[in-house]
């Protein structure tokens, strides 16, 4: 995956940046491959298909890591997982808002419900999960899209072809969180990447 998984400490730096506004959203590109596909690079790492899962796990992990721990509020959770994504992709308020004329999807998350992530129960066709064994609190129990319940009781209730293409106009706003940096706080969270020296 890119960037590669880092040592402990980087997670706290990212959480600190998210809670202070330096990072403005959480997303995933969900580019997943099964273990057979990943094994193409067993003799040459350059041939390993790049990417991991994340789309099914994202909302649960952000709630458990950031809201459950008190690092962000419930309102921040909505902003970081939905509103800011729509703004950066220049489709707000059509998406990312619950307003007349908007068509944002809606989730109902039970903060008292627990989850455990495992390849045996996830809904991807993968035989592995990068978050295998991760447990936490805060589970999406219902998803509403286009005015219809599309996820309930761990069942997906959609038919192929019901999705819609959303054209994203150019010229969205640029990231503006960098001016909010509290350098003293963030420097205490930094986790430097140690690189091997080149032999050339």
Distance (Å, rounded) from C-alpha 109 to C-alpha 103? 19
Q: Would 107 be classed as within a structural domain?
A: yes
Q: Would 168 be classed as within a structural domain?
A: no
Distance (Å, rounded) from C-alpha 123 to C-alpha 56? 8
Q: Could you read off the pLDDT of 152-196 as tens digits, one per residue?
A: 998 989 988 888 888 888 876 655 555 666 666 666 666 666 666
Which pTM was predicted?
0.83
Distance (Å, rounded) from C-alpha 148 to C-alpha 143? 8
Q: Could you read off the pLDDT of 39-59 as tens digits, one per residue?
A: 999 999 899 999 999 999 999
Which DSSP symbol is given to 42? S
Residue 164, pLDDT score: 85
Residue 186, pLDDT score: 60
Distance (Å, rounded) from C-alpha 175 to C-alpha 101? 26
**CATH code assigned at 106:** 3.20.20.140
Rounded average pLDDT over 4-28: 90
Domain count, the chain: 1
Contact 143, 123 (CB under 8 A): no
Q: Would 65 be classed as within a structural domain?
A: yes
Q: Could you read off the pLDDT of 54-83 as tens digits, one per residue?
A: 999 999 999 999 999 999 999 999 999 999
8 — pLDDT class (breaks 50, 70, 90): confident
Q: Would 200 be classed as within a structural domain?
A: no
Residue 6, pLDDT score: 87
Q: Would 3 be classed as within a structural domain?
A: no
Q: Which domain holds residue 40?
A: 10-157
Rounded average pLDDT over 137-151: 94
pLDDT at 116 over 90: yes
Q: Would 86 be classed as within a structural domain?
A: yes
């Amino acid at each position: 995956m890119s960037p590669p998984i880092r040592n402990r400490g980087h997670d706290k730096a990212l959480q600190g940046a998210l809670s202070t506004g330096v990072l403005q959203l959480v997303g995933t590109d969900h580019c997943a491959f099964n273990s057979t596909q990943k094994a193409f690079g067993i003799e040459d790492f350059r041939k390993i298909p790049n990417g991991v899962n994340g789309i099914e796990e994202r909302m649960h992990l952000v709630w458990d890591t950031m809201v459950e721990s008190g690092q962000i509020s419930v309102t921040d959770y909505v902003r970081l997982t939905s509103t800011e994504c729509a703004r950066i992709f220049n489709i707000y308020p059509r998406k990312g808002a619950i307003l007349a004329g908007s068509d944002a999807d809606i989730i109902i998350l039970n903060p008292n419900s627990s989850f455990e992530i495992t390849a045996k129960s996830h809904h991807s066709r993968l035989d592995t999960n990068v978050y295998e064994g991760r447990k936490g609190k805060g589970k999406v129990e219902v998803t509403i899209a286009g005015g219809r319940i599309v996820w309930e009781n761990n069942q997906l209730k959609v038919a192929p072809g019901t999705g819609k293409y959303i054209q994203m106009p150019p010229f969205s706003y640029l990231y503006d969180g960098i001016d909010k940096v509290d350098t003293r706080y963030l420097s205490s969270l930094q986790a430097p990447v140690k690189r091997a020296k080149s032999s050339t």
